[in-house]
Amino acid sequence: MGRFHLLRVLVLIFAVGLLSWYARQGGNNPFAGTKTIRIASGENGYAIMCSAGKTPAKRIVTLFAPEKLSSSDIKLLMEDVTGEWNLITLCQTIDFNAFPNPPQSWTILSPQTTMIPVDNTEIPAEDAEASAINTEDSAEAYDNWPEPFFNTQAGAAGRFFWQIVYPLGDSVHAVLLTVDKTATLICGSSVLSGSSKNTRSQFKEKLDLLIIPSADAKTVMETREIFRPRFIAVIPPCDTSAKTHLKNIICADDSKNWEYKFKAKRGKLSF
């Protein structure tokens, strides 16, 4: 055996070890740092901030706003939308003045594209093309914001993937967030109103995090039984008696100024 043969064996051993280590990582880029999911709000609404990157200069920030927010509602998240960021919304109008600067991109997730928010107003979709033709500068029409991109099924921003899903197999939809092999389902009140303890869902025991609106203890427990997630986060105000029964129910005591923060790393979600 020559020394070159021995060197080749060592290189192969190192390559096998490196591939084995990479296969155990939760994401495609193990050097991207921990991904965080922050849920925060004020008195009137909430938003979900997702970020990835080891340093602020390289951080990828995505804001999901399921409802209209004011600057006071999302002041806990304002510090992260001063640089480059992306916006994901449903089909609601946007208060442009609530944000310190426009996003890099704006995606609207909606099963039906019926309304287009322009300059804090809504224009019917059939009139949108004519409106764009009559507008000399689209940036001016959107108050220097990027024109929204409609997607009726899914969208991606950075390392975060958003998708419209039907968790109960009917017409009621929710939003599924996927990052680092972790799954987060964001439900509205319509999902809760159409469910009962006998309801079946294809997401049962497949969710790392379930986010639901304000609900009483009975509804929280029934929803937990339907989905059986690792964590269930309730948007305040909520019945804090629910979390006294099970440790995986997260419910803030203060409904005016609250924040939940989760970390996704190596395919696992932690609180």
pTM: 0.76
- Tell me the pLDDT of the chain averaged across its residues: 75
Please tell me the least confidently modeled range out of 151-155, 165-169, 222-226: 151-155
pLDDT in tens, 48-88: 888 887 665 566 788 888 777 666 656 667 777 777 888 88
Task: Check the CA dihedral 23-28-30-36 and report its sign.
Answer: negative
Q: How confident is the model at residue 228 (pLDDT cuts 50, 70, 90)?
A: very high
> Is 2 among the domain residues?
no
Q: Are strands 105-109 and 149-151 parallel, antiparallel or unpaired?
A: parallel
Whether 205 maps to a domain, the answer reads yes
Residue 171 has pLDDT above 70, yes or no: yes
Q: Please count the structural domains in the chain.
A: 1
**Alpha-carbon distances, residue 186 vs 7, 164, 193 (angstroms):** 52, 10, 15
Q: Residue 44 sits in which domain range?
A: 27-270
With H, G, I as helix, E, B as strand and everything else as coil, classify residue 83. Answer: coil
Question: Per the domain annotation, does 14 fall within a domain?
Answer: no
Q: Domain of 180: which CATH number?
A: 3.60.15
Contact (CB, 8 A) for 135 and 82: no
Is residue 263 a part of any domain in this protein?
Answer: yes
In the chain, % of residues over pLDDT 70: 64
* Residue 229 confidence class, pLDDT cut points 50, 70, 90: very high
Whether the per-residue pLDDT at 269 is higher than 80: the answer is: yes
Residue 20 placed within a domain = no
Residue 21 within a domain: no
pLDDT in tens, 97-125: 778 888 888 888 877 655 444 444 444 44
Taking only the tens place, the pLDDT of each residue in 10-62 is 767 766 665 665 555 544 555 556 788 998 876 667 888 888 876 655 667 88
User: For the purposes of burial, counting CB atoms within 10 Å of the CB of 118, is it exposed (0-12), middle (13-18) or buried (19 or more)?
Assistant: buried
Query: What tokens appear for 111 in the block?
Result: 């099963």
In a domain, 10, yes or no: no
**Domain annotation covers residue 5:** no
Task: Quickly state the pLDDT bin for 139 (edges 50, 70, 90).
Answer: very low
Q: How confident is the model at residue 232 (pLDDT cuts 50, 70, 90)?
A: very high
For residue 82, give the amino acid letter. Answer: T
* Structure confidence by residue, pLDDT tens digits, 192-213: 876 666 778 889 999 999 999 8
Q: Which whole-number Å values give the CA distances from 50 to 61, 162, 184, 187, 211, in the listed order? A: 6, 11, 12, 17, 14
Higher pLDDT, 136 or 133: 136
What radius of gyration, in Å, describes the C-alpha atoms of the chain?
A: 22
- CA 71 to chain centroid, in Å, comes to 19
Q: What is the 3-state secondary structure (H, E, C) of 20-59?
A: HHHHCCCCCCCCCCCEEEEEEECCCCEEEEEEECCCHHHC
Q: Give the integer Cα–Cα distance in Å for 131 and 270.
A: 46
Give the C-alpha separation, 271 to 231, whole Å.
8
Cα-based distances in Å from 210 to 65, 79, 143, 182, 183: 16, 25, 35, 11, 9
* DSSP letter assigned to residue 181: T
